[in-house]
Structure 1
Amino acid sequence: MPRITLVQPRWLLQIESRNVLTGHALVMQDDRIAAILPQADAHTAWPDAAVVNLPDHALMPGLVNLHAHSAMTLLRGYADDLALMTWLNEHIWPAEGKHVSDEFVYDGTQLAIAEMIRGGTTCANDMYFHHGAVARAAIASGFRIMVGCSILEFPTPYASGADAYIQKALACIDEFRGEPLVGFTLAPHAPYTVSDATFGRVITLADELGIGIHCHIHETQDEIAGSLKEHGVRPLERLAGLGLLSGQLVAAHMVHMTDAEIALVAKRGVHIAHNPASNLKLASGFARVTDQLTAGINVGIGTDGAASNNKLDMFAELRLAALLAKGQSGNPEALPAWQALEMATLGGARALGWDDRIGTLEAGKAADMIAVDLSALGTQPCFDPVSHLVYALDRQQVSHVWINGELQLADGELTRIKLPQVAARARHWQQRIAG
């Protein structure tokens, strides 16, 4: 017998239609959304269904974190207030070289997933090493994840060079084929760490496998200056010549773009992962998000890693993205609340090629959804729930989270992940890393 649950919020946000429904129920059948209809009709059609009443809550799709390095939660606060290349070369990469392992990645990814679920994130587009450990942590946690298989030219304890990274990626993709909540991308780290030949192999393999590509691009001015010196062109021009710019690509950051580059990215259908907090913390700059959206580029929102943010709080990123767009453009109407919510839900789903299953609340889609309690003092009075979700909300107001129909957070408490165990592992790694 199918398991039927009627979820009855005060407000129901479908996202793409920009409708806020009241007096409606979402009918969940096992792992799917079966229907959205008036509550009285739902009770008539399914009189014996379980009922979840959410009288002061907004129900909406789960947030999609479009750029994350989940395992780096174990390096949260390890090296702060530094420029990107100093941060990477002198602190992060040496620490990773010493400590990163399957165990490190599993523990760090599960810590990140616990934090993300508690903040309303139901899916993440990850990029890191030890891809199998990332997948296993997500499967054990019931979390939806796109595992980005990092590829670089230089050796690390994980792999000896580009060929070895690619072979490990292919083996991992085969190992987890068919897992319902796990997908894979090839993730060449950045133009300054990947050769033309390796980019060519990545493009060919991604085409053959029918998977996406995830890459840091145009994050800093130094990156662009380095490309001009080494290749004689800006990174995007080089990557366009190699054939990388397509709808398969999720380009993280894309902070420094000319008008011509924005037009090119829009024409090629590239997706952008905007990371406002990380861009600010590393002083990378201010992405031209308003211009990107106006050009028709699909832009999602990411947190980046906890080592450069320092939290995986998508609601905080939503607010920051909307405010930065207004301040940068001088237009208070830039990036309104509805559009910010679309970026963090449907925009991320589209970028991952998963918009047929997540990103909106529609019949037939997976039941990846969150309930947010708007009865708290900081969200009173409530004239407009959409406004509060972007400008006023604290992530602790997320009360319920369902992923693929499974209740992962109930009244603010994790149901599957054992928080004391996750916290104990974080303390274990703190002691090891601190020496």
Structure 2
Amino acid sequence: MTSDSGVSPKTIHAADLRIDARWVIPIEPAGVVLEHHAVLIQGDRIAAVIPQQDADTGYRAKETIRLDSHVVMPGLINLHGHAAMSLFRGLADDLPLMTWLNDHIWPAEGRYVDESFIFDGTRLAIAEMLRTGTTTFSDMYFFPEVVAELAHDTGIRAQVCFPLLDFPTMWGSGPDDYLAKGTALIERWQGDDYVAPAIGPHAPYTVSDEPLRQCLALAQDKQVAIQIHLHETAFEVSDALAKTGRRPTERLAELGLLGPGLQCVHMTQIDDTDVRLLRESGAHVVHCPESNLKLASGLCPTERLRQAGVNVTIGTDGAASNNDLDLFGEVRTAAMLAKVVADDAAALSAHQALAMATLNGAKALGRDHELGSLVAGKRADLIAVDLGDPFLQPVYDPASHLVYSNHSRQVSHSWINGVPQVQDGRLTRIDVPDLMLKVQAWADTIRSGQTG
């Protein structure tokens, strides 16, 4: 049909939400900052990312939000943590890793961790992550069924890794029990829109060969990911060499675990063999810079891995060893550490650091076709960061500002599947006053246990 002038009328598209932003950093294409663009959302998907003047003539939105001093970008993906350990934040600081674990954390877990601890601690972690820009997180901890239910009900995306160890814990009696419960977790949640079940063998030094073989068989059968702490300390590597004559990566490669479904957390101790195995296998590395610094575990050579073609993502680890779940802070630390480790001020640019926390994380999850960048057709998981604060001025390069100058509390808005999770700095799905009462009760209990 044509108008009286003979010109076909322009098609007007419908959108549920239009977000007008001063800047948009879509992550794809890489290194791009778009000015005065609009992000259009229809249902749970991104409909378009276009100049605002094109949105004026091409779209009619039910709601429009104008963010004149903000950056809009994909939600952050925190690829490693132990969410409920937020209730242990600051419990045993300034200690070496094995002292911290053996003498403080593991005894505290044995005394306090149950389903109610997991529920309240994970809710605290989710609140902090949402408030600081994370829209997807990976968790490896006890009672994963509680974490899965909570993430689903809150509407935040989560990779939930069930634990696997050689010895009993409060969640299981041994490898067979962990694997049986883990299989049930996978069958319950596989295919869910928010929860992706996965397997979390703790580390090569806590899981023997046969359970690792069973882990791999289950992962292959159910098509789920595996996440493992790997090469976290120099002692872990030297001890493995002394006992087996092989580096942990070599052992995992021989068992068949080292592949595109494996997420290797920490990787602070790396030689040419490790780089080659990671590159050839397609395994992913999860960099946790602040936890590694605080526990003096070592430094992951992120630029060396990137240059070799290894996908490097980023995680916070747990708040007990960090002591926060602020992924923007982690990105800043990672960017600066990369330069020192590589002895190159140009290593890991601001845009590359932001990609580690978005698209690279999505690749490790096998979900880069729908997460990690602002591209039409992808899920509407995005955040807005306000750079209008007087002490953030002037803004020459918003990508650099996000990495080097931004404080994560400048996150003003967050959407997951197009649903608002943070509005004007306020959480929409979590009752913070009620949560704080629960957290204080746990703090009182744990404090009395320390002094009793």
Give unpaired runs (5+ residues) of structure 2: 1-12
Partner-residue secondary structure (3-state), 1:22: strand
- How many angstroms apart in 2 are the aligned matches of 1:104 and 1:39? 47
Match of 1:117 among 111, 115, 130: 130
Q: CA deviation at 1:432?
A: 1.7
Does 2:294 match 1:267? no
Partner deviation per Cα, 1:92-113 (whole Å, 9 max, x = no partner): 1111111111111111111000
Match of 2:7 in 1: none
Q: CA deviation at 1:141?
A: 1.6
Q: CA deviation at 1:223?
A: 0.7
Question: How do 1:232-247 and structure 2 match up within 5 A?
Answer: 232-247=245-260
- How many angstroms apart in 1 are the aligned matches of 2:321 and 2:128? 16
> 4+ residue runs of structure 1 moved beyond 6 angstroms?
none
Does 2:17 match 1:5? yes
Match of 1:333 in 2: 346
Question: How do 1:361-380 and structure 2 match up within 5 A?
Answer: 361-380=374-393
Match of 1:250 in 2: 263
Q: CA deviation at 1:425?
A: 1.2
Question: How do 1:339-354 and structure 2 match up within 5 A?
Answer: 339-354=352-367
TM-score of the two chains, using structure 2 as the length reference: 0.94
Q: Contact conserved, 2:14 with 2:61, CA < 8 A, in 1?
A: no
Q: Contact conserved, 1:77 with 1:310, CA < 8 A, in 2?
A: yes
Match of 2:408 in 1: 395
- How many angstroms apart in 2 are the aligned matches of 1:126 and 1:2? 37
Match of 1:359 in 2: 372
Q: Which amino acid aligns with 2:388?
A: S
- How many angstroms apart in 1 are the aligned matches of 2:276 and 2:145? 37
Match of 2:186 among 152, 162, 173: 173
Match of 1:306 in 2: 319
Q: CA deviation at 1:12?
A: 0.7
Q: CA deviation at 1:3?
A: 6.0
Q: Contact conserved, 1:212 with 1:352, CA < 8 A, in 2?
A: yes
TM-score of the two chains, using structure 1 as the length reference: 0.98
Match of 2:226 among 193, 213, 226: 213
Q: Which moved more, 1:144-153 or 1:373-382?
A: 373-382
Partner deviation per Cα, 1:316-373 (whole Å, 9 max, x = no partner): 1111111111112211101110100000100111001111111000111111000000
- How many angstroms apart in 1 are the aligned matches of 2:343 and 2:61? 54
Partner-residue secondary structure (3-state), 1:378: helix
Question: How do 1:275-290 and structure 2 match up within 5 A?
Answer: 275-290=288-303
Q: Which amino acid aligns with 2:403?
A: V
Partner deviation per Cα, 1:222-264 (whole Å, 9 max, x = no partner): 1112212322211111111111110000000000010221121
Partner deviation per Cα, 1:279-337 (whole Å, 9 max, x = no partner): 00000011111111110100001000000000001111111111111112211101110
Q: CA deviation at 1:41?
A: 2.2
Partner-residue secondary structure (3-state), 2:79: strand
Q: Which amino acid aligns with 1:372?
A: V
- How many angstroms apart in 1 are the aligned matches of 2:46 and 2:201? 36
Match of 1:31 in 2: 44
Partner-residue secondary structure (3-state), 2:357: helix
Aligned residues: 435
Q: CA deviation at 1:23?
A: 2.1
Partner-residue secondary structure (3-state), 1:8: strand
Q: Which moved more, 1:347-356 or 1:17-26?
A: 17-26
Give unpaired runs (5+ residues) of structure 1: none
Q: CA deviation at 1:82?
A: 0.9
Q: Contact conserved, 1:378 with 1:393, CA < 8 A, in 2?
A: no
Match of 1:95 in 2: 108
Match of 1:16 among 28, 31, 38: 28
Does 2:108 match 1:72? no
- How many angstroms apart in 2 are the aligned matches of 1:330 and 1:388? 22
- How many angstroms apart in 2 are the aligned matches of 1:203 and 1:257? 23
- How many angstroms apart in 1 are the aligned matches of 2:436 and 2:183? 32
Partner-residue secondary structure (3-state), 1:71: helix
Q: Contact conserved, 1:149 with 1:186, CA < 8 A, in 2?
A: yes
- How many angstroms apart in 2 are the aligned matches of 1:231 and 1:178? 39
Q: Which structure has the larger Rg?
A: 2
Q: Contact conserved, 1:2 with 1:30, CA < 8 A, in 2?
A: no
Identity of aligned residues (%): 49
Q: CA deviation at 1:147?
A: 0.2
- How many angstroms apart in 1 are the aligned matches of 2:446 and 2:59? 54
Match of 2:420 among 397, 402, 407: 407
Q: CA deviation at 1:36?
A: 1.3
Q: Contact conserved, 2:166 with 2:175, CA < 8 A, in 1?
A: yes
* Superposed CA RMSD: 1.3
- How many angstroms apart in 2 are the aligned matches of 1:308 and 1:23? 40
Q: CA deviation at 1:15?
A: 0.4
